[in-house]
Structure 1
Amino acid sequence: MSQLICKNLLVGYEGKAILDPLNFEIHAGGYLCVVGENGAGKSTLMKTLLGLQQPISGQIEMGDGLRRNEIGYLPQQTIVQRDFPASVQEIVLSGCQSRCGLRPFYSREEKQLAQDAMHKMQIGSLAKRCYRELSGGQQQRVLLARALCATRKMLLLDEPVSGLDPKATTEMYHLIEKLNQQEGITVLMISHDIQAAVCYASHILHVGETIFFGTREAYLQSPQGRLFAAGKGGAK
């Protein structure tokens, strides 16, 4: 069943589109990577899907009972966010805020949800540690655990391995794959790493001067896929 369907979607700013109309869909349990050149509009698309900005035209439809406030989001980190003076547990638990409604406190169920998310990300032992003291890889695990507290259905990840060393990058990809394959969580990930995209994703959305949407196998046979796989496209 389709969880997210985009029909003739135009994204951009101040009424000016930065991409041709987009038509794609994500099925429950799918893994879609969005790739393309720097400045092609990948992050703008992500913000539009999250409702953080309005589309210029077109439709975004949600199925399988999915609602926007049930989507877990892992944005790109800023320098200020990396220095946030809170404990790991506090940050992960804040992912439950959309579940609280008007309640000014977290329920026992929500606290357990945070504990489970930390366990899945293998950071349970860091619960009391200050976030700012962690390595980049550990911080990304914390933020992914936070995103998990908001969803049981879909994760939107914006460059989740940006700035990580090779070991932390591999570990993060494996954790995301496990959430997709074992937990059945749908993944939509912006990535500059085309090799990882075609390794892990079930489908590819290539944005830029030309648009492609299809399976990773079809992408590798497409003009865009052949160029990027050869390392000539600068898929960032």
Structure 2
Amino acid sequence: MAQLTCQNLRVGYDGKSVLQDLSFEVFAGDYLCIVGENGSGKSTLMKTILGLQPPISGRILTGDGLRKNGIGYLPQQTVVQKDFPASVREIVLSGCQGRCGSRPFYNKEEKQLAEENIRKMQIDKLSKRCYRELSGGQQQRVLLARALCATQKMLLLDEPVSGLDPKVTAEMYRLIDELHHRDGITIIMISHDIAAAVKYASHILHIGNTVFFGTKAEYLQSPQGRLFAAEKGGDEQ
């Protein structure tokens, strides 16, 4: 049974669609990369999957034990968010809010979960530091630890390496790949980096003038994938 199913989905704002007739399924353990040009609707699709905005038409279904409020989300950061005046521990712990229900406080298990994810993201020594004092790569680790507090099943990542230097980008991709392989977390990631998508993903959703959804191998045989391969070959010459 699929964890996430999108059926005949049409998404956009104020009744104006940016994506339509979109259907695909994501199963437990998949690593789906969503690629495409700016303005193609990638972030709008992700926000619709999360329930942050309603679809114009079509359906989004969850299954295999996944609940919509049990999806971890790492959004693109704004300048205001990067300057947020809270400690690393406070921000990571806030990822447990969905578990609290009507409780106005975090219980022992939630605090332990936050500490576990702080260790997992290797930011133990930063836990008392103010978030806005951290580097871009450190901030992304904090936000990834926060997202992990919301889920053990699925992470949605919107351009998680945007603005990071090549070394930190490689470290972030490695961390995400470890969460996928070691912890069995399903990954859905928006990326402009098609080369990274081809390297790490099991499935690719390419949004553009035409839409492709399938396995990585199928993508490389598709018109979109062959165009990427041709461009990559030209870059290496």
TM-score range for the pair, normalised by the shorter chain length: over 0.9
The letter of the residue matching 2:197 is A
How much has 1:225 moved relative to structure 2?
Answer: 1.0
Residues 12-91 of structure 1 correspond to what in structure 2 (within 5 A)?
Answer: 12-91=12-91
Which residue number in structure 2 is paired with residue 118 of structure 1?
118
Which residue does 1:176 correspond to in 2?
A: 176
Distance 1:123 1:167 in 2: 17
* Structure 2: segments with no counterpart, 5+ residues: 233-237
1:217 equivalent to 2:203? Answer no
- Counterpart residue identity of residue 182, structure 2: Q
Corresponding residue number in structure 2 for 1:159:
159
Question: Is the contact made by 1:19 and 1:208 (CA closer than 8 Å) also made in structure 2?
Answer: no
**Displacement of 1:20:** 3.0
Aligned-partner SS, 1:160: coil
Residue aligned with 1:152, SS: coil
For 1:117-160, what per-residue CA distance to the aligned partner results, in whole angstroms no more than 9, with x for missing partners?
Answer: 01111101110011111110000000000000000100000000
Shift of 1:219: 0.3
2-structure distance, mates of 1:183, 1:124: 20
Deviating beyond 2 angstroms after TM superposition, the runs of 4 or more aligned structure 1 residues are 228-232
For the residue of structure 1 that corresponds to 2:3, the secondary structure is: strand
Q: Spell out, residue by residue over 1:156-193, the C-alpha distance to the aligned partner (whole angstroms, 9 max, x if none).
A: 00000000000110000000000000100000000000
Q: Is the 8 A contact 1:29 1:187 kept in 2?
A: yes
1:101 aligns with 2:95: no
Shift of 1:196: 0.3
CA contact (8 A) 1:18 1:40 kept: yes
Instruction: State whether structure 2 residue 202 is matched by structure 1 residue 202.
Output: yes
In structure 1, how many angstroms separate the alpha carbons of the residues matched to 2:105 and 2:130?
A: 21
Q: 1:140 & 1:96 partners in 2: Cα distance?
A: 17
What is the percentage of aligned positions where both structures have the same residue?
Answer: 75
Query: RMSD of the TM alignment (CA)?
Result: 0.9
Aligned AA (1:46): M
Name the TM-score, length of structure 1 as normaliser: 0.96
Query: Quick one: which amino acid aligns to residue 210 of structure 2?
Result: T
What is the count of residue pairs matched by the alignment?
232
Verify the 8 A CA contact 1:194 1:229 in the aligned structure 2: no
**AA of the residue aligned to 2:53:** Q
2:62 is matched by which residue type in structure 1? M
Letter in 1 for 2:50: L
Equivalent in the alignment of 2:235 = none
Deviation of 1:228 after TM superposition, in Å, equals 2.5
Work out the CA distance in 1 between the residues paired with 2:130 and 2:231.
39
User: Do 1:219 and 1:225's aligned partners in 2 also have CA atoms closer than 8 Å?
Assistant: yes
1:141 and 2:141 are equivalent in the alignment: yes
Q: 1:230 deviation in Å? A: 3.3
Amino acid at match of 1:91: I
How far apart are the structure 1 equivalents of 2:226 and 2:84?
41
